Structure 1
Amino acid sequence: MDRRSFFRTAALGGAGSLTLAAPAIAHSAPQVQWRCTSSFPKGLDTVYGGAEDLARYVREASGGNFDIQVFASGEIVPGLQAADAAQNGTVEMCHTAAYYFVGKSPTWALGTVIPFGLNARGMNAWLYYGGGNDALNAYYNEQGLQFMAAGNTGTQMGGWFRNEIGGLDDMQGLQMRVAGLGGQIMEALGVVPQQIAGGDVYAALERGAIDATEWVGPYDDNSLGFQRVAPYYYYPGWWEGNATLSVFCNREAYEALPDEYRSLLDTAARAVNTDMLAEYDYKNPTALRELVDTGAQLRRFPDDVMNAGYEASLDLYADFRQNVDGWADIYDSMMKFQSEHFLWQQVAEQTFANFMQEKQSQGQLPAQIQGEGSVGGGTDN
């Protein structure tokens, strides 16, 4: 069954009731029109497309009675004002990344990701079964918003560097485009964080105004040509072990919806959350190969950089627990689950992955044996 059929069927109570229930639902459901402002431009088809997918699922499942119009960044408000627009009722909903708003409070970042936090699977498990949604909404509701996870990029890359990083000493004084909590941690490592709009990053790298930039991952990076001016492509993006995107609904508008519309929004957001991660997992391997073929040189962050970043993160979080409103309850819930999650990953998931990665590196996967090749050209420090 395709996704459209699923949503229409789900909203009507199951396949068996489809024929009889459709007219009743269509006649009884109220007409609701919402506007959703995105923090993303249309050119980022995967992340921007998440909001369009959600709107389509809701529209089709409600027979057009619940209609959400999606607007790209800048069409109503700038991307970094999306949450404000939902808070103050300029729009009923926004699609964004919560960590864009750490200027309000570091606690906002917990709805997206924190350095050395959960990976995508762990984040979803915590949100849906570990009390994460309840913990986050206890905080966001106080801000006049209702939170729903609505997309994930998976673990991101560490970014593009003009020069190789041999160790922690090479981070000193580095001018790097990196924001949010990641920027604060990088600053503790000696980096000078810079906030530069996405459209200006390439030019800043080319003329040497910055030495490095983080972005997202291979698919979103591939069209930007960073490898031509900053060829060293570092991994992993330890400040973004996942990147959960979110829908924030104006709390009053959300509460005014009929129960079935609130349920439909939640179902659609969950579908978008799952689908976006799958899309990135499908597109990133091909994009990574293309980047390597056009000059990107893969490098792993040195251990001393990773360890220093980890220790700096723990120090920052200890301060937040004492001094930042709302941080402790959400963070403690997340970290309690994290300790169990990575134990499970180590026992089964990672053991299997390590074995298969060995086969991949040895050229023994079926497609490789048939001569289709694999991503190469990089070395680890």
Structure 2
Amino acid sequence: MQRRSILLSSGVAAATLMAAHTSAQAQPAIRWRMTSSFPKTLDTLFGTSEFVCRRVSEMTDEKFQIQLFAPGELVAGNAVLDAVGKGVVDAGHTASNYYTGKDPSFAFDSVVPFGMNSRQQSAWMIMGDGKKLMRNLFKEQNIYNVPCGNIGTQMGGWFRKEIKTVADLKGLKIRLPGLGGDVMAKLGALPQQIPGSDIYPALERGTIDAVEWIGPYDDEKLGFNQVAKYYYTPSWWEGGGQCSMYVNLDKWNELPKEYRAVFEAACAEGQAYMQAMYDTLNPPALRRLIAKGTQVRPFSNEIMTSAYAAAESIYEEISAKNPRFKEIYDNWKAFRNSQIQWLGVAERRFDNMMATVIR
């Protein structure tokens, strides 16, 4: 009886696998073109795009293939939103805070100054109202958006000189996109919009005085420590930088439902993949940078509190004239505040304790 049961179970499993393979074989062959906002040199960001494309291929028996292009090969790195919406490319991997000039509401799909960390952002997107609110926004751009990767809390950037007070920010030319740039402008700085591939030459030539990018691993690869000495922390404008996959809405609607499920599953894997890479690679990279002479500095309390006040003021100003922003902001803020209160009960206390005992 046991042998018969085993044989029967084995037969069922084999039949199931054969049916799944037959189903995959029956699906159409689809070829997409995807562009990225991130340079090929960054195996964290561009590497996540590659990872997602590979997983989509693997999960569809190579029937669904996505060809990935670096910034500038098809479209500029900061033009992904328009390129995907207009169908110039089928999909794109980017950060939505690059497009706040079109509508500041896009920041909520990526990162907002003094916002949530990566876990809290993911919670808002998955279990809160974030995904629904963002989908409504992106539908107007003919785009279907899927979270795909989170960088975590970033560093506050590289500066040629020490920044001790708000007065030191006056006239400072800093590469800083999105709402973070708006906050810096309110404090007297001159934020610049510069694509990732052009940052190093601008800093080296003195076209800019400071640059924020991401964190130790990526910043070391781009060589910022060779032209700027002071490395500030934390990035109060990017407490948890979410990246997203954009898909042309018409192309998304054409996809078989099985392929849609595969694509979203691959992006979910990419979400975990990116953060795991950063959490693994940043600690040794920071040690190497310090050994090479980098001086890590905290932003002063004066700068942080002034920036927070400026950010809150900006959100209220935008809300007064942008109903879409206000709708998302009110929902996001309530979720953020609740998350911060919970964080203080257990996790922050635990993290602070571990930081004092581990050397």
TM-score greater than 0.5 by the shorter chain: yes
Structure 2 spans left out of the alignment, 5+ residues: 1-12
Q: Confirm or deny: 8 A CA contact 1:147 1:249 kept in the other structure.
A: yes
1:100 counterpart SS class:
helix
Map of 2:142 onto structure 1:
144
CA gap 1:25/1:214 in 2 versus in 1, 3 angstroms: same
Report the Cα offset of residue 179 of structure 1.
2.0
Report the Cα offset of residue 305 of structure 1.
0.5
CA gap 1:279/1:16 in 2 versus in 1, 3 angstroms: farther
Q: Report the Cα distance in structure 2 between the residues aligned to 1:162 and 1:309, rounded to whole angstroms.
A: 20
The residue type equivalent to 1:172 in the other structure is K
In the alignment, structure 1 residue 307 sits paired with structure 2 residue 308: no
Map of 2:340 onto structure 1:
342
Q: Report the Cα distance in structure 2 between the residues aligned to 1:269 and 1:188, rounded to whole angstroms.
A: 36
Report the Cα offset of residue 118 of structure 1.
0.9
Q: Report the Cα distance in structure 1 between the residues aligned to 2:267 and 2:151, rounded to whole angstroms.
A: 15
Map of 2:222 onto structure 1:
224
Map of 1:5 onto structure 2:
none
Alpha-carbon deviations, 1:244-289, whole Å to 9, x = none? Answer: 1100111111011111111111111111011101110000001000
CA gap 1:83/1:204 in 2 versus in 1, 3 angstroms: closer
Report the Cα offset of residue 215 of structure 1.
1.2
2:293 counterpart SS class:
coil
Q: Confirm or deny: 8 A CA contact 1:96 1:247 kept in the other structure.
A: yes
2:222 counterpart SS class:
coil
Report the Cα offset of residue 177 of structure 1.
1.8
Q: 2:32 aligns with which of 25, 34, 37?
A: 34
Q: Report the Cα distance in structure 2 between the residues aligned to 1:155 and 1:17, rounded to whole angstroms.
A: 47
| Percent of pairs with identical residues | 43
Deviates more, 1:21-30 or 1:311-320: 21-30
Deviates more, 1:210-219 or 1:295-304: 210-219
1:45 counterpart SS class:
coil
Q: Report the Cα distance in structure 1 between the residues aligned to 2:33 and 2:255, rounded to whole angstroms.
A: 14
Alpha-carbon deviations, 1:90-116, whole Å to 9, x = none? Answer: 111111111111121111111111111
CA gap 1:224/1:28 in 2 versus in 1, 3 angstroms: closer
Superposed counterparts of 1:1-381, under 5 Å? 19-360=17-358, 363=359
Map of 2:6 onto structure 1:
none
Q: Confirm or deny: 8 A CA contact 2:97 2:177 kept in the other structure.
A: no
CA gap 1:305/1:17 in 2 versus in 1, 3 angstroms: farther
CA RMSD in angstroms, aligned pairs only: 1.7
Q: Report the Cα distance in structure 2 between the residues aligned to 1:109 and 1:16, rounded to whole angstroms.
A: 48
Report the Cα offset of residue 198 of structure 1.
3.4
Q: Report the Cα distance in structure 1 between the residues aligned to 2:128 and 2:246, rounded to whole angstroms.
A: 20
Q: Confirm or deny: 8 A CA contact 1:228 1:295 kept in the other structure.
A: no
Q: Report the Cα distance in structure 1 between the residues aligned to 2:287 and 2:151, rounded to whole angstroms.
A: 18
1:210 counterpart SS class:
coil
1:37 counterpart SS class:
strand
The residue type equivalent to 1:214 in the other structure is E
Alpha-carbon deviations, 1:202-247, whole Å to 9, x = none? Answer: 3433443322111110010012332233211000011111111100
Report the Cα offset of residue 325 of structure 1.
4.5
Map of 2:7 onto structure 1:
none
